[in-house]
Structure 1
Amino acid sequence: MSNNLPVINLMGPTASGKTALACELYERGNYELISVDSALVYRDMDIGTAKPTKEEQLQYPHHLIDVITPMEVYSAAQFVDDAIRLIDDIHSRGKTPILVGGTMLYFKALLEGLSDNLPNADQAIRSEIEAKASEEGWQAVYDELVHVDPLAGEKFKVTDKQRIIRALEVYKITGKPITQLQLEQPKNLPYRYTFYNYALLPDRVELHKRIALRLEKMWEIGFLNEVELLIKKYDLDENLPSMRCVGYRQALEFLNNGDSSHKKRTEMEDKALFATRQLAKRQYTWLRSLQELHHFKTYLTTKQAHEDLRNLHR
């Protein structure tokens, strides 16, 4: 297989305009869209994830949307497997894939590969680890990790909860430290592709305005109702990966608390806004880190990107 099959990566923080840009590119060229978003994989989570509407998805079909239920787990390794399969399918149809989203861990995994000897996530084991944290505190869980994987203990802080869970999960499944497994095998890089990386990086003040407007609209069109329906349909708890999505965690906590006063609702909305801004900050950091290793072209506005990408890989 040729090693210069094009794959377009269109990245950016939440509310940067990347999805709208991808849809306009889709209209102009021979493309298919693949979502790179760890929240859009969940069915029934539409408003809080800013998922394209059903009408928009009919007009601009996206792969890897509505893949699993909110009770399931979707890992970076699963994303890479699915993305590579889809990329190959799209090329076989004579089209070019556009991968669009803001989950930088997924982009990093695709660009740099993953050790193929790491196990998939195990929700039962994760629940055990989280139960211990709830009963004994995260320090006890961190101490357990340090005991079985001292190198991971040096790399992680006690506040790195998700990394601690993953490291302990891998040890409990394989009996080996994750740091050892990561060193044992070379990464499985998809060398048969040529990646073209683009990123929308708006001014942060402007981005914060967009985030605030998006959240206001979400509350107006029924985000809380959506979470109430999720609670009725699924046996949700705050430790599920789906409920760690920004907005959902705060809404779930608010609804489970039982105090629906204006004060508590305002506090919840403020927490969701802060969490979304923090997400955007992490996405900027991830993008800057990826730029150090991979060639990127960045744009402040979608208009700039439009003009530059007008005849992209036609």
Structure 2
Amino acid sequence: MSHQRFIVCLAGPTASGKSAATLSLAQYWPIEIINVDSATIYRQMDIGTAKPGPVERRTVPHHLLDIRDPSETYSAAEFCTDTLRLIEDIHSRNRIPLLCGGTMMYYKALREGLNNLPSANPGIRRELENEAAASGWPAMHAQLQHIDPLTAQRLAPNDSQRIQRALEIHRITGKPMSQLLAEQRPNQEKPWHYVTISLEPSDRAVLHERIATRYHAMVENGLVAEVEALFNRGDLSESMPSIRCVGYRQIWAYLKGEVDLPTAIEQAIAATRQLAKRQLTWLRAQPDRHIVDCLSLNTVDQIQDIVPQYWNAPPR
């Protein structure tokens, strides 16, 4: 496989310094960033997603930011289509695409291909949301445990989005999602080989402190007002993927009067730490990843030592 068939993916948990690393790399390589993030795709959601700002976007081109209204959805299939198109376009301009982000479902779809699962059914989704509103997501998780224990055991009882999807698939097909996934082995030709550089903390307690510090800074910088603007639109709800984003749904609950603000902040920090744990679990299951300590003082130097073997272009 020739070097130009390699695509480098800079992955890591939230608050691991991925964005800062890409800006440093842009000083030496003609890169363009393809964002692998299911939250930064949304317009009007800047503070809580830690979206790259105007200075960062002027420093290095970013793609797949602000491409959806918060009322809209964006699937892994759409991400794959857009990313493959962007890779070709960036290469055609003699520049280097760098995938960067922490939505592991998107990386998985690119690396392994997409399973042919049924599309979303709005009627069934509303039905499930109504059931969850009445009984709670832990009860829905118990329902999933009964019909699809393999899927249920890998989902947290409050993982509403994935529980809903698994139950939806069962109601559409009459089969457990785990069975359908076992039956379907993607057989798609992969035009690129994806190489993962994984930013992982040598001390998880330090990452946890970073997460708390960053979220408090988001609140100080206007996160509540940002969520309130979405809340006041009147066409959004906590059942939508945009509002389900970690850090947003907790402030949404505060605006609904369900919790006070200090509680919402603590819940958001706890949920973000759980997200980081899931991200690290997925990354550590990738046997061919290059591990870089995101807490090191020479993180960028370590990345610089790795990328030349995959990028044909010399550093500038």
Tell me which interval the TM-score lies in, with the shorter structure as reference length: 0.7 to 0.9
Cα distance in 1 for residues equivalent to 2:124 and 2:60: 38
Decide whether the 8 Å contact of 1:3 with 1:193 is kept in 2.
Answer: no
**SS of aligned partner of 1:196:** strand
Decide whether the 8 Å contact of 2:151 with 2:177 is kept in 1.
Answer: no
C-alpha change, 1:186 and 1:154, in structure 2 (3 Å) is closer
The Cα of 1:49 is off from its aligned counterpart by 0.7
Q: How many residues align?
A: 303
Deviations 1:255-296 (A, max 9, x none): 11087xxxx22222222221111211221111112x23xx11
The Cα of 1:220 is off from its aligned counterpart by 1.2
Match of 1:306 among 294, 297, 300: 300
Counterpart in 1 of 2:197?
198
Counterpart in 2 of 1:275?
271
**SS of aligned partner of 1:257:** coil
Counterpart in 1 of 2:114?
114
Decide whether the 8 Å contact of 2:145 with 2:152 is kept in 1.
Answer: no
Deviations 1:187-243 (A, max 9, x none): 144532122210111221221222122112111111101011111224222222111
Counterpart in 1 of 2:46?
46
Cα distance in 2 for residues equivalent to 1:143 and 1:220: 38
Counterpart in 2 of 1:134?
133
Q: Is 1:287 aligned to residue 272 of structure 2?
A: no
Cα distance in 2 for residues equivalent to 1:83 and 1:154: 31
Deviations 1:53-99 (A, max 9, x none): 13322332211111211122222222222222222222233322110
Please, which runs of 5 or more residues in structure 2 have no aligned partner?
none
Deviations 1:16-69 (A, max 9, x none): 111111122123212211001111111111101111113322332211111211
Q: Structure 1 length normalisation: TM-score? A: 0.85
> Percent identity between the aligned chains?
46
C-alpha change, 1:206 and 1:179, in structure 2 (3 Å) is closer
C-alpha change, 1:143 and 1:215, in structure 2 (3 Å) is closer
Decide whether the 8 Å contact of 2:31 with 2:60 is kept in 1.
Answer: no
Cα distance in 2 for residues equivalent to 1:199 and 1:46: 24
Cα distance in 2 for residues equivalent to 1:212 and 1:154: 33
| Greater CA drift, 133-142 or 195-204 | 133-142
| Greater CA drift, 131-140 or 101-110 | 131-140
Cα distance in 1 for residues equivalent to 2:135 and 2:250: 24
Please, which runs of 5 or more residues in structure 1 have no aligned partner?
none
Counterpart in 1 of 2:290?
297
C-alpha change, 1:136 and 1:208, in structure 2 (3 Å) is closer
Decide whether the 8 Å contact of 1:73 with 1:121 is kept in 2.
Answer: no
Counterpart in 2 of 1:222?
222
Amino acid at match of 2:275: L
Amino acid at match of 2:262: T
Report the RMSD for the aligned CA atoms in angstroms: 2.7
Q: Is 1:249 aligned to residue 249 of structure 2?
A: yes
Decide whether the 8 Å contact of 2:151 with 2:178 is kept in 1.
Answer: no
The Cα of 1:114 is off from its aligned counterpart by 1.7
Q: Structure 2 length normalisation: TM-score? A: 0.85
C-alpha change, 1:174 and 1:24, in structure 2 (3 Å) is same
Counterpart in 2 of 1:103?
103
Cα distance in 2 for residues equivalent to 1:91 and 1:5: 11
C-alpha change, 1:93 and 1:184, in structure 2 (3 Å) is farther
C-alpha change, 1:177 and 1:274, in structure 2 (3 Å) is closer
Decide whether the 8 Å contact of 2:11 with 2:197 is kept in 1.
Answer: yes
Counterpart in 1 of 2:231?
231
